[in-house]
Amino acid sequence: MAESIASALGAEPQRRLANGLEQFEVVAEKANLRVVIENADRLTGQMKLWDSRGLAHHCDGRAFLSPEADAGHPCGCPPTMAERRARARAGQGPQPITTLLFHLAGCPNVGSFRFRSSSWRFAEGVQRIRTQLATVGDAALCELAIQTVEFPTQNGRRVCYHKPVVKVLGPWASSAALSLAA
């Protein structure tokens, strides 16, 4: 499995010991991957706030997701991501947790992978990406990338951060058929 994954990523599997067991690690220095996303439900956005007792607030931005007694009831979060972000910065609101489940396009049969991000920018695009995935209607070929963003602040300081991006390229079935024909 490690060799299949490494081949798809253009890397080499490395043996290493972890907790007394021999395991494989694949480190690829790629900024993007071709992935297969089965449907829009494989991309989820949640909001979570932790305190000293544990998970204090868990919602989707509109309704609570847990605890079970509160699930489905309005959570009280502001309607816009900008307002939610301001509350989170003040320590008064939850932060985004965006999760994507996918297969590697180069070796789709080795299993599912999970990408998780707390990026506000990624969270802001979840609904748009879900709509694009739903438009495809079935499994979609996508590009999962980490983009570097750099800009100067008003006081002249340079800021650099990385943000995840998902680009929906089209249906997976036709992409697979085209690559097999080539």
pLDDT at 163 over 80: yes
One-letter amino acid of 2: A
Q: Please name the residue that has the structure tokens 């307002």.
A: 83
Task: Quote the pTM value.
Answer: 0.83
Averaged pLDDT for residues 65-92: 95
**HSE (side-chain half, CA atoms, 13 Å) at 11:** 15
**HSE (side-chain half, CA atoms, 13 Å) at 96:** 24
φ, ψ (nearest 5 deg) of residue 6: -60, -40
Pairing of strands 140-152, 113-117: unpaired
**HSE (side-chain half, CA atoms, 13 Å) at 62:** 2
pLDDT of residue 90: 93
Q: Where are the domains of the chain?
A: 1-29, 30-44+98-181, 45-95
Q: Which of 7-26 are b and which e, b meaning 16 or more Cβ less than 10 Å from the residue's Cβ?
A: ebbebebeeeeeeeeeeeeb
pLDDT at 177 over 70: no
DSSP codes, 83-96: HHHHHHHTTSS-EE
What digits encode the pLDDT tens for the residues 17-73?
777 777 888 877 788 899 999 999 999 999 999 999 999 999 999 999 999 999 999
Six-digit token string for 173 = 């079935």
Distance CA 53, CA 172 (A): 44
What digits encode the pLDDT tens for the residues 91-111?
899 999 999 999 999 888 888
Q: Please name the residue that has the structure tokens 């991006």.
A: 165
